[in-house]
Structure 1
Amino acid sequence: MKLRFLGTGDSAQVPVYNCDCLACTRAQQDPSWYRRPCSAVIECGDQRWLIDSGRMDLTELFPPGSLNGILQTHYHADHAQGLLHLRWGVNCRIPVYGPEDEKGFADLFKHSGILDFSATWSAFEQRQLGAMQVTAIPLQHSKPCLGYVFSHEGKHIAYLTDTVGLPPESLAYLQTVALDYCIVDCSHPPQDTPPRNHNDLNMALAIGQQLTVKHLVLTHISHKVDTWLMENPETLSDSILLAKDNGMIAV
């Protein structure tokens, strides 16, 4: 399995409009530090699936026939806005799997075009996508939200964003899996008060400590997290990775 990050930012992305903080200045000077809408592509055998669709250039990134489908974590704008354009394609059908959400995003469900939203996922449901098994993991967010565990030949990658901590049943399930990589939401630097809807760095690291995981990977990163890590460069151990746009992990 190979997973490539298409975007690793929060809803404001990096650089943030009109911001001159350390992280935004770095990204303006070095585009390799850009953080676009949080999303990824996972490949296994003949399968290639997009994880979230917040990028607005999906029709350029994925020519017809290059995707088997899309796995949505949820339907907030920064994770789904690219579907508004993609849906108006012709002469093809793209399955979009995600949580059951009556409201969805904008009018996507009413005017779905080439997108097929009919096969929603339930908590801990498992599906076989070619040689890859995928398990839906309930997350804690302000909209119905799922993470996913991707498994193939005894290797496992967890993708867990957007969330603030983990529901007890999801933590219990993940504790039964020896993860090669666990990709987690890290939207805030360490905070004295509990964050809402997204992990701060302390909560993200705590998730890793509660699981059996070789590498914890931080994503959904804000400019404030980037700035804090620039000011505290010795914080992350070698087993903790900071995701970057276009970066890849493989097992």
Structure 2
Amino acid sequence: MKLTLLGTGNVTGCPVYGCDCLACQRASLDPSKARLLCSAVLEVNGQRILIDANHPQLQTRFPAGSIDAMLLTHFHMDHVQALFELRWGIAEPIPVYHPDDPLGCDDLFKHPGLLDFQPARQALHSFSLAGINITPLALNHSKPTLGYLFASENGRIAYLTDTLGVPDQSWQQLLRHPPKYVVIDCSNSPLHRSGNHNNLSDVLELAHALPDSTWVLTHIGHDLDEYLMQHPNCLPSNVLVGHDELCLSL
């Protein structure tokens, strides 16, 4: 089982248009430090599962027939925007698993095209896909949002974005079934607080409570990147800064 982080940025990505902070200057000069919007792809048992759909070269990166299914965390535009073009493609239907949000995003439900929207997933109601067990985990966000706990015979990976903290029922599931890797929303530096996203202090508290897991930061804003540049030794050994194209394998 391999999870590749296609993008690790928050809604603005990095560099941010018009910004001259240290992180944005670095990303402008060094493309390896740039961040696309947050999404990922899981490859397991010969199948490919896309997690959110916002990659700017999605159709080039994943030609017709190469996506076996999609998991959506939520229906905010920055996580589903590539679906609006993809849906009118000429290809076999793609099963799309998603949280229970009747509003969806714009007219995706009304005009799905090749997107085969499955019945809404419910938190803690596990299902099988590509030969592995997937448990949806409720998250704290401004729209109905699910994280996902992937369990194969080789171990577990959790993918948790977008969220502020982790709801108790979801946290208890992680404690009962500790993942090898937890990919976690960490949008802001400790100097900034958001009502819908973790900052670094929030994540460090979670990582301290589940120390045997490796915590991988994603959905990263440029202010956090700048903070990490200025405080290079602030992370414990079980917390890693994610970057675009990072692969986590079990």
TM-score bin (small chain): over 0.9
What is the CA–CA distance in structure 2 between the aligned matches of 1:91 and 1:53, rounded to whole Å? 17
Instruction: For residues 28-73 of structure 1, give each alpha carbon's deviation from its aligned partner in whole angstroms, at most 9, with x where no partner exists.
Output: 0000011101000011112210011122321111111111111000
What is the CA–CA distance in structure 1 between the aligned matches of 2:127 and 2:146, rounded to whole Å? 14
1:125 aligned partner, one-letter code: H
Question: Does residue 176 in structure 1 map to residue 176 in structure 2?
Answer: yes
Partner SS, residue 64 of structure 1: coil
What is the CA–CA distance in structure 2 between the aligned matches of 1:168 and 1:181, rounded to whole Å? 19
Query: Which position in structure 2 is the counterpart of 1:247?
Result: 246
What is the CA–CA distance in structure 2 between the aligned matches of 1:149 and 1:224, rounded to whole Å? 28
Aligned pairs (5 A) from 1:26-105: 26-105=26-105
Question: Does residue 149 in structure 1 map to residue 149 in structure 2?
Answer: yes
Deviation at 1:212, TM superposition (A): 5.1
In the superposition, the TM-score normalised over structure 1's length comes to: 0.96
Partner SS, residue 6 of structure 1: strand
Partner SS, residue 27 of structure 2: helix
Deviation at 1:240, TM superposition (A): 1.1
Instruction: For residues 164-202 of structure 1, give each alpha carbon's deviation from its aligned partner in whole angstroms, at most 9, with x where no partner exists.
Output: 00111111111101210011000010047x531000001
What is the CA–CA distance in structure 2 between the aligned matches of 1:128 and 1:79, rounded to whole Å? 23
Query: Which position in structure 2 is the counterpart of 1:2?
Result: 2
Instruction: For residues 227-247 of structure 1, give each alpha carbon's deviation from its aligned partner in whole angstroms, at most 9, with x where no partner exists.
Output: 000000000123211110011
What is the CA–CA distance in structure 1 between the aligned matches of 2:30 and 2:212, rounded to whole Å? 31
What RMSD over aligned residues (CA atoms) do the two structures have, in Å? 1.2
Partner SS, residue 75 of structure 1: coil
2:159 aligned partner, one-letter code: Y
What is the CA–CA distance in structure 2 between the aligned matches of 1:82 and 1:32, rounded to whole Å? 22
Deviation at 1:97, TM superposition (A): 0.4
Question: Does residue 215 in structure 1 map to residue 224 in structure 2?
Answer: no
Instruction: For residues 52-105 of structure 1, give each alpha carbon's deviation from its aligned partner in whole angstroms, at most 9, with x where no partner exists.
Output: 112232111111111111100001011000100100012410111010111111
Question: Does residue 202 in structure 1 map to residue 198 in structure 2?
Answer: no
Contact 2:187 2:221 in 1 (8 A): yes
What is the CA–CA distance in structure 2 between the aligned matches of 1:198 and 1:227, rounded to whole Å? 18
Partner SS, residue 179 of structure 1: coil
Contact 2:211 2:238 in 1 (8 A): no
Count of aligned pairs: 250
Query: Which position in structure 2 is the counterpart of 1:166?
Result: 166
Query: Which position in structure 2 is the counterpart of 1:14?
Result: 14
Contact 1:164 1:197 in 2 (8 A): yes
What is the CA–CA distance in structure 2 between the aligned matches of 1:166 and 1:237, rounded to whole Å? 20
Q: Structure 1 residues 19 and 70, CA, compared in 2 at 3 Å: closer, same or farther?
A: same
Identity level (%) = 45
Contact 1:175 1:210 in 2 (8 A): no
What is the CA–CA distance in structure 2 between the aligned matches of 1:52 and 1:181, rounded to whole Å? 19
Deviation at 1:154, TM superposition (A): 4.7
Partner SS, residue 176 of structure 2: coil
What is the CA–CA distance in structure 1 between the aligned matches of 2:34 and 2:90, rounded to whole Å? 32
Partner SS, residue 5 of structure 1: strand
Instruction: For residues 100-130 of structure 1, give each alpha carbon's deviation from its aligned partner in whole angstroms, at most 9, with x where no partner exists.
Output: 1111111111111000113221111111112
Question: Does residue 124 in structure 1 map to residue 124 in structure 2?
Answer: yes
Q: Structure 1 residues 83 and 98, CA, compared in 2 at 3 Å: closer, same or farther?
A: same
What is the CA–CA distance in structure 2 between the aligned matches of 1:209 and 1:173, rounded to whole Å? 17
